Structure 1
């Protein structure tokens, strides 16, 4: 799936918190592309934050830079692909555990000068925040043991969503 972080019309509204905020539900190993604006009108830093930071539009000590969109090459939009996996192949990479929620906000105000703001910014002004709910793995039949000591694998249902695609 491909979404523009600044085009919130693609996301459903979040009814669980007092503010109107976008959220999406994904499964382990799903991917999502965030495409930065390709014009000089929107310059921002996106952070992965705690739930409290998400609600208050303020960074805290646990906030981490997730993506910087600075339109340095406005002829070619930059993007960031997220793979929602419970482990990261990179040291200090983001990991997404099934059954948990993760939060993205931008406290930037859209200008170079306000790119590193730690409070409010587009999160408060334009409600630029996104909750990502990682769904649990879908249950499937696991191997069962026969009485005679031999393993028998039950038929599995189609689990294409559990296997990452090798296609670019």
Structure 2
């Protein structure tokens, strides 16, 4: 039998895919947004504005009420957080089939949803963003459990509880400034909402438990895949 043939073309393609995929897990972790009326950033002059770049991550958190934590409000506040376009965000309106990010309805748990700012999402539950476009995260509930299903007004209008995301932009124009951010004592995930309490599973819009972090998934399959890329490897990227 002859010596096995090398496949330099496949290796080159695999390396390019690795670089593109690594871009999906790189970037900064932005300052987390604690979603209740105790967060004074919502009342700041000019509103709550963030300038994420493609590749960054942002944690949305619903602080628990019992036992109270450092970011808790005196009374638990019930919200559904929606991702909407610029015009809808300015009007504090969600569409009839809204893009739900996180439901704050568990007073005994800290709940989190991680947004990954990416132009193309490799997973079913990911969100896609275009650079130099504006998006809003809004809450149209009035803070009560009975008002959870409201799609218009609510605290977005009465308390200014919305976040303007100016993706790929800078407050001064040009490249956005980069600075270190404090690390949260929690694992990163792929954009699935979950509680910070172990052992609870979750899906978007449901707050029940952690998903495996992306870097761990990379470590598990990259070493085996790249010596000899196979058709199934490429299907992973192009499903």
Q: So what's the TM-score if we normalise by structure 2?
A: 0.49
**Corresponding residue number in structure 1 for 2:18:** none
**Corresponding residue number in structure 2 for 1:69:** 104
Question: For the Cα contact (< 8 Å) 1:13–1:23, is it kept in 2?
Answer: no
**Deviation at residue 126 of structure 1 after TM alignment:** 1.1
**Corresponding residue number in structure 2 for 1:79:** 112
**Deviation at residue 31 of structure 1 after TM alignment:** 1.0
**Corresponding residue number in structure 2 for 1:102:** 135
The aligned length equals: 133
Q: How far does the alpha carbon of each residue in 1:93-138 deviate from its partner, in whole angstroms, 9 at most, with x for none? A: 31112211111110011111100111111111211111111116x9
Q: Distance in 1 between matches of 2:123 and 2:133?
A: 21
Structure with the bigger percentage of helix: 2
Question: For the Cα contact (< 8 Å) 2:52–2:168, is it kept in 1?
Answer: yes
Corresponding residue SS for 1:118: coil
CA distance change for structure 1 residues 95 and 23 in 2, over 3 Å: closer, same or farther?
Answer: same
Match of 2:56 among 18, 30, 33: 30
1:50 aligns with 2:80: no
Q: Distance in 2 between matches of 1:10 and 1:123?
A: 9
Match of 1:116 among 141, 149, 163: 149
Q: Distance in 1 between matches of 2:86 and 2:42?
A: 22
Long gaps (5+) in structure 2: 1-30, 66-74, 176-213, 217-239
Q: Distance in 1 between matches of 2:88 and 2:112?
A: 24
Structure with the bigger percentage of strand: 1
Pairing of 1:138-157 with structure 2 (within 5 A): none
Corresponding residue SS for 2:51: strand
CA distance change for structure 1 residues 9 and 68 in 2, over 3 Å: closer, same or farther?
Answer: same
Long gaps (5+) in structure 1: 15-20, 140-164
